[in-house]
Amino acid sequence: MVYCPKCGTQNQDEAEFCMKCGFSLKGKKDGWLSRKNPFAWVTIIAVIALLGFFYITVIPQSPSPTWTPPTYTNPPTPSNTPIYTLPPSTTPPTHPPTPAYTLTPQIPIITPDDAHNYYGKLVIVEGLVVYTYNSGNACFLDFHQDWSTNPNAFVAVIFASDFGKFSPSPESYYLFKKVRVKGIITQYNSKPEIILNSPSQIWIVE
């Protein structure tokens, strides 16, 4: 049987033309694969598919090699390598003890009448400035009305070299003000006094 290569119609072996489409069958060999036989081609495709399935499922496949990172280990320590260790008796350093701080003794606050009892001592004299006088060389702040006759009359003195540190006209600024005067009691003309070198030694209380 000869199959028409154009329309696939089955014809007799001795036919020279296709009985359906009239295509010339001259020179066509009488073979299974040379003819357009649908069954033959279907059989070939089925065999190829079966072989492929057998290759994939039956024949074991070698697994793809996977890369494994190398593992590094520390080389053994040579026996002649010295090993340094702290002596067993090592103790942490000790710090010197913190020194104990003592409070500064409180400066006594006294009245102008008691100033003559504290010669050479640091005190705070609290009182009312009742009289002032500026001679140009020094400014005197008196705490007693009878300062000229009272042998124990206390006075605070500001010398001209320190006038620039104080308020202008200290004789007017401190007059009739209750103040506190801090300093060492000294004696001048047998009377107690404190020399003021800084405004921090005198401040107004009221």
pLDDT in tens, 18-72: 877 877 777 654 444 445 556 666 677 877 877 777 767 765 555 666 777 766 6
Tell me the C-alpha distance between 88 and 23, whole Å: 111
- % of residues, the chain, pLDDT over 70: 69
Domain range 109-204, CATH architecture: Beta Barrel (2.40)
Quote helix, strand, coil % in the chain, to nearest 5: 20, 25, 55
E-only strand ranges, 16-67: none
Residue 139 buriedness (CB in 10 A; 0-12 / 13-18 / 19+): buried
Domain boundaries, the chain: 2-57, 109-204
Higher pLDDT, 6 or 78: 6
Of how many residues is the chain composed? 206
The answer to whether 195 touches 186, Cβ cutoff 8 Å, is yes
Give, rounded to a whole angstrom, the gap between the first and last alpha carbons of the chain.
144
Contacts of 40 (CB under 8 A, 6+ apart): 32, 33
CA angle, residues 151, 111, 138, in degrees to nearest 5: 60
